[in-house]
Structure 1
Amino acid sequence: MLDTRQLQYFNAIYEHGSLARASIHLRIAASALSHHLAQMETRFGTPLFSRKPRGMAPTAAGHRLYGHSRSILRAMIAAETDLTDAVDKISGPVSVGMSFSAVKAIGVAFVTQVVRDFPNVQLALTESLSGAALPHLLASDVDMALIYNPPADPTFESEPVLEEKMFCVGRSDIIGDTEDPITFAELLDLPIILLRQGVSARAIMDDITLLKKIETRAILQMNSVQAIAGSIEAGLGCVIGTRLFMHDQLERGTVRARPIITPELSRTLYLCRLASRPPTFASEAIREILIDRVQEAVLSGAWEAQLLLRA
């Protein structure tokens, strides 16, 4: 049976790319690391690394084991810290993933309160496109994430947080010199620029059928929020998003936002966690702050949305 020491040795070799560098990092003889690695490869019946003149490259099996071992070691550290917290104070690492819009709405306020209220928690905040947060969650790179329209999957515990209406945002010469509503049919005739990375296009709206129609008509699909914002201001097209997404440009008056009707488009934000990972005292405390900051942003009008949180 594998033990945590072997997993730590394996991770060090994987991350440092050679036995020599892993040996220096761990302060363990390279021969000992080689012995443990050989035992693991014999147990699995497959090489975990390809030996090269200047180091070691993980095989497909090595990549897969690293994903598992990193998750296992993180869970063990969290368990040890959590038990200490039970008799002492809330501390330990907690990582949170947020989309660009969420960071814009609550990022600074959230981090400020965590640092103030729980100085012994090592918070890591990751900003990414909504769909990119799912792989981070699966790989245990983040403990929880705010994700738009995640797929129905028993792997995750998904709690609905809020619902946002979607707008057509663009320059007046592209979408019209008005803020009157625009129909979905009219929208499809415009040059649409689509934010897309993996399943993150789902973040545009709940209705997958309508999303497919938009994907078919899109003139550009980009993975960069900044590139899309720049393209909209340059007059290359329009985007389907929230007012928060292009808040700065709307404030400057360089773009307009028109509500989409017939049908109205919306998207739902969820707080997602791995179902297989039990919460810790620290992660529960950070979750409460996260929810509080979302509620405050919506109630103050800083985040235009309808709260869906259960009382």
Structure 2
Amino acid sequence: MHIFDRFVLVYVWQMDIRQLRYFTAIFEQRNLSHAASLCGVAQSALSHHLGQLESELGVALFRRQARGMEPTAAGVRLHDHAKRLLRDLALAEQDLKSHRDEVAGEVVLGLSFSAIEGVAVPLMRAMIAEYPKVRLSLFESLSMTAFENLLGGAVDLALAYNPPVDQRVTALPLLEEELFCIGHADLIGDSGAPISFEDFAALPQILLHLGLAARAQIDRPALLQQLRGSAIMELNSVNALRKALVEGIGCVIAPRITVRDLLRTGVLQERPIGGPTLTRRLMLLRLAGRPPTILIEATQALLRRLIRAEVESGAWHARLIDA
């Protein structure tokens, strides 16, 4: 840990929580006037608090510019700590105010695109019906971004595929999905017959961006390396991937859920991949060092129940993993 980070961890516990909120508002607004309005205080008071904070820390947290406030590296580090601390305080307050027969508060979830497709609508409906005093926030991203947002304290829970093993994270496996060759009939045909991995590799392929985003699709390094050598492009957007598939630009190895609607309407076709079955796992993630609140426990249970229902109904083509 950087020496500045160690100092901040001690200092933030001694700091007035109000001062942390002021700093966070300035960081996120990048403008003293806007931050003051958000906090309901005079701009001069906010400027005074910031100057006092910088003096006590002995570092500049912002660069004052004509068009606003630009955080320094120290400011970015402090914001990372402040964001996690303020979220922990909010969760503690919610937990103490909640009763088991009346779950309330805000829960922030980070979901991969496929998880959004699979369970977002049932989740929104169930939250409104079963927990009317809960405010649900959903953030859609690629799996690795959801994982990083969890580590950074931006989300309380994450649904991500094939996340890396990390002692800071508790991972509960929920389901396993088979991967298919998916593309336009002009590229892969419409017979539905199995295709060998070698034949697939000879087709124009599209990959999600290099690194752990691709790992969320295929967690086999040797196969990934082979695909990287022959892929015609890499995309960092599931939306862009779907559009490319519809236009017949290339094909992809993916689960059905990613393009479920396009398969149902016949816009795209699927073919099983011959040989050893390729699969990926969906995990429910939370921070190991943050004890779950009543709200978090209720949300975890709800997610598991809804995902089970989607799989058992056949709406989500996957195999449930009993934990």
TM-score, normalised to structure 2, is 0.90
Q: Does 1:34 find its partner at 2:40?
A: no
Question: Is residue 2:261 matched to residue 1:248?
Answer: yes
Match of 1:128 among 129, 141, 147: 141
In structure 2, how many angstroms separate the alpha carbons of the residues matched to 1:274 and 1:207?
A: 26
Greater mean deviation of Cα atoms: 56-65 or 84-93: 84-93
Distance 1:278 1:265 in 2: 35
Name the SS for the 2:47 alignment partner. helix
Match of 2:77 among 17, 41, 64: 64
User: Does 2:200 align with 1:187?
Assistant: yes
Note the C-alpha offset of 1:208: 2.2
Question: Which digits, 9 at most, give the CA deviation of each residue in 1:43-64, with x for residues without a partner?
Answer: 3221001122343221111112
Return the letter of the residue paired with 2:150.
L
Q: Which residue, 46, 63, 78 being the options, matches 1:50?
A: 63
Deviations 1:60-107 (A, max 9, x none): 111121121111111101101101114872100001121222222221
More off after superposition, 20-29 vs 42-51: 20-29
What is the distance in 1 between the residues matched to 2:141 and 2:32? 33
Q: CA deviation at 1:175?
A: 1.7
| 1:101 alignment partner, SS class | helix
% identity of equivalent residues: 44
**Matched residues in 1 for 2:248 and 2:148: separation?**
33
2:284 maps to 271
CA contact under 8 A between 1:131 and 1:197: conserved in structure 2? no
Summarize deviations over 1:9-36 as a string: whole Å, max 9, x none: 1112222323333333323343433333
What does the per-residue CA deviation read over 1:166-196, in whole Å, with 9 as the maximum and x for residues that have no partner? 0001123312342111111221111111122
Q: Which of the numbers 268, 281, 284 marks the counterpart of 2:297?
A: 284
Query: Which residue pairs with 1:235 in the alignment?
Result: 248
CA distance in structure 2 between the aligned counterparts of 1:21 and 1:280, rounded to whole angstroms: 33
> C-alpha distance in 2, partners of 1:137/1:105?
20
Q: CA deviation at 1:248?
A: 1.9
| Mapping of residues 45-194 of structure 1, within 5 Å | 45-86=58-99, 89-194=102-207
Q: TM-score, normalised by structure 1?
A: 0.94
Closer/same/farther in 2, CA of residues 2 and 197 from structure 1, 3 Å limit? farther
Instruction: Give the match for residue 17 of structure 2.
Output: 4
Residue 212 (structure 1) aligned with residue 217 (structure 2): no
CA distance in 1, matches of 2:245, 2:45: 58
The alpha-carbon deviation at position 220 of structure 1 amounts to 1.2
Looking at structure 1, the residues matched to 137 and 29 of structure 2 have their Cα atoms a distance apart, in angstroms, of 22
Deviation, structure 1 residue 40: 2.1
| Separation in 1, partners of 2:197, 2:66 | 59
Structure 1: how far apart are the matches of 2:100 and 2:119? Answer: 31
Aligned-partner Cα distance in 2 for 1:188–1:87? 53
Q: Could you tell me how far 1:256 is from its partner in structure 2? A: 1.5
2:201 aligned with 1:223, yes or no?
Answer: no
CA contact (8 A) 1:95 1:125 kept: yes
Task: Tell me which moved more, 204-213 or 157-166.
Answer: 204-213
> For residues 128 and 312 of structure 2, what CA distance do their matches in structure 1 show?
23
1:197 and 1:83 map into 2 onto residues whose CA distance is 43
Classify the secondary structure of the residue corresponding to 1:204: coil
Note closer, same or farther for the CA distance 1:247–1:22 as it changes in structure 2 (3 Å cut). closer
**Which runs of no fewer than 5 residues in structure 1 stay unpaired?**
none
Equivalent pair of 1:164/1:304 in contact (CA under 8 Å): yes
> Which blocks of at least 5 consecutive residues in structure 2 are unaligned?
1-13
Give the paired residue count.
Answer: 310
CA distances 1:221-268 after superposition (whole Å, capped 9, x unpaired) = 112222222211211111111122222222222321111122321101
Counterpart of 2:229, as a letter, is T
Is the contact made by 1:97 and 1:126 (CA closer than 8 Å) also made in structure 2?
Answer: yes
Query: Which portions of structure 1, spanning 4 or more consecutive aligned residues, are displaced by more than 4 angstroms?
Result: none
Contact 1:129 1:197 (C-alpha < 8 Å) held by counterparts? no
Distance 1:30 1:273 in 2: 38
SS in 1 for 2:48: helix
Matched-pair contact (CA < 8 Å) for 2:100–2:294:
no
Between the aligned partners of 2:36 and 2:216, the Cα distance in structure 1 is: 44
Provide Cα deviations, 1:135-169, integer angstroms capped at 9, x if missing partner: 22122221111100000111211111111110001
